Chains A and B, each alone.
Chain A
């Protein structure tokens, strides 16, 4: 979900889809970013029961870790995001996906904090995922990679954080699926998380959310070029299926109001209806474009794996059905943020988290930001969200004793 319309604008000049595809393939095993590679001695036990080895996690860092290692912030990305939160994506060559929030002087101020962002387990930008090469066969894992969960993603990140010599993260921040990881972090490693900001997220994936994901996965698997998952070895690509999956998902990221404001019933480059199945309407043309540009930068099997991880997420279920128990005796400071027109992760989901945190007597703030831009709002220019994040982090930094840039506390 890291793709606001600006991000999925046409490929940069001089890059053909074939070149893009090549660049994307290269990032899978040999990412341009930093990468932690783990052998048999650092195997990763997964929720599925399988022990993953070898495995790797690709990440970017920004800013400087202070002497007492107290200023590290982990940013967790959403479904189709990556580690390039505030730096140029090597495939699309577009700026980082959350530069509005993360950077020098920004609410997540890289002059003050050391920011880490890693690609999720199951992803396709350098962390082990279905497109990665299975060292046993020399071919891509495809569907032989065990399914991964949000908790597996978090465990992998925890290994990275440990590797970087950080005992406690000052904050863990993420939107949508990133927000799920934030909640999982706070629940699984409460002593390692000083503060947490789950944005436009929830403690579980709802039935409706699972339904939309299933439509997307079926679209991918119905594409003959999917080849039972082995399309990379067959030299093919289920672009049509993945594109349809993206189109369906994209609708869920926007609100009725924002779609209507942007497109209405406007016709695309024509004066009248064509009485055919061309993209008569602007919204159709827009969705097709979203689908087409997505396939150049994302792996279809990765899409299956990561959507499945979201579907499986249910934090209360891990604790006998009680969400409050997931946060019992927590000392983490929480700041929960939702958006008024987000119907994918509506405010009610965030409020359920807040209620559970109150029941656990946790330190929690909750802000519902008024926006008509639906779920995608968390990636967009939302001053109220920026003010909230900045204020919350500043208060938490004072409590943690992290000096402000320039020295003043």
Chain B
């Protein structure tokens, strides 16, 4: 019944944004993954980076799956439960595709910077050209393969663009150590470009932050 970690080590398909995150996490780090879903990223980091990992996940089914595969995960809410953790409790705190679904993104980011020495945040980019086109030509809220929700059922209540996010980071006296733009499928956009261009062609982005 229990899933042995080893049996999952040949993961069928590793998400592209997970691979990018994996590259940003140092070997053996203490890591907190906020919004860890069923623990796929934590497991990847445990196998490839030998981290001491913890997770927080809102959905109970996600938590139960993660714990059943031997990961340390608690049911919790990025908006509510991060304040329980002491300062600098982790080397790296990860918030993967979750910021836009929090009630108070700035408050959450503040907590992440307090708890972790380094913070990895990945966000969907609302200013991707495809979204801009839908709004411009059809006058409808964008619905894409990557962001497949209708406006009335989306859990994503605080959208931002890559440039919005960078502006917020600067406003909070934090630094972007590294940024990677990705396609919707999670493929790295492998050239460096000015923010405005990434803001147009990146469907998502991963940031390494520090304060």
Residues of chain A whose beta carbon lies under 8 Å from any beta carbon of chain B: 107, 333, 335-336, 354-355, 358-359, 361, 363-370, 383-384, 386-388, 390-392, 394-396, 398, 408-409
Contacts and interface: CB of A to CB of B under 8 A. Distances in A.
Nearest to B53: A363
A354 B74 contact: yes
Given A335-B67, A367-B60, A367-B63, A387 B85 contact: no
A346 B202 CA distance: 45
Nearest to B73: A365
A365 B60 contact: no
A387 B74 contact: no
B3 A391 contact: yes
Contacts of B85: 358-359, 361
Contacts of B52: 363
B2 A368 contact: no
Q: Which of A361, A388, A391, A409 has the most CB of B within 10 A?
A: A391
Contacts of A359: 84-86
B102 interface: no
Contacts of B68: 387-388, 390-392
B143 interface: no
Contacts of B71: 365, 395
B4 A388 contact: no
B183 interface: no
Contact of B89 (A333, A361, A367): A361
Interface of B: 1-6, 52, 54, 60, 63-64, 66-76, 81, 84-86, 89
A368 B4 CA distance: 21
Nearest to A109: B2
A107 B86 CA distance: 33
B74 A394 contact: no
A105 B201 CA distance: 53
Contacts of B81: 355, 358
A366 B74 contact: yes
Contact of B54 (A363, A388, A408): A363
A310 to B, nearest CB: 26
A144 B86 CA distance: 47
A394 B72 contact: no
Nearest to A389: B2
Contacts of A358: 74, 81, 84-85
29 contacts: A355-B81, A358-B84, A359-B86, A361-B86, A365-B67, A365-B71, A365-B73, A366-B73, A366-B74, A366-B76, A367-B63, A367-B75, A368-B63, A368-B75, A369-B64, A386-B1, A388-B68, A390-B1, A391-B3, A391-B68, A391-B70, A392-B68, A394-B2, A394-B4, A395-B69, A395-B70, A396-B70, A398-B70, A409-B6
A387 B4 CA distance: 11
Contacts of A368: 60, 63, 75
Contact of B1 (A363, A369, A387, A395): A387
A398 B4 CA distance: 10
B113 to A, nearest CB: 17
Given A354-B74, A358-B74, A388-B68, 19 more contacts: A107-B2, A333-B72, A359-B86, A363-B72, A364-B54, A364-B74, A365-B63, A367-B67, A368-B60, A384-B64, A390-B2, A391-B2, A391-B3, A391-B68, A392-B68, A394-B5, A395-B72, A408-B6, A409-B6
B157 to A, nearest CB: 24
B52 to A, nearest CB: 8
B64 A388 contact: yes
B111 to A, nearest CB: 12
B9 to A, nearest CB: 12
Contacts of B73: 365-366
A392 B60 contact: no
Contact of B67 (A383, A392, A398, A408): A392
Nearest to A388: B67
Contacts of B4: 394
Contacts of A367: 60, 63-64, 67, 75
A383 B64 CA distance: 11
Contacts of B1: 107, 383, 386-387, 390
Ranked nearest first, the 6 interchain pairs of A and B with the lowest CB-CB distance are A395-B70, A391-B68, A390-B2, A366-B74, A358-B84, A387-B68
A13 B67 CA distance: 43
Nearest to B75: A366
Contacts of B6: 408-409
A387 B75 contact: no
Contacts of A388: 64, 67-68
Nearest to B55: A365
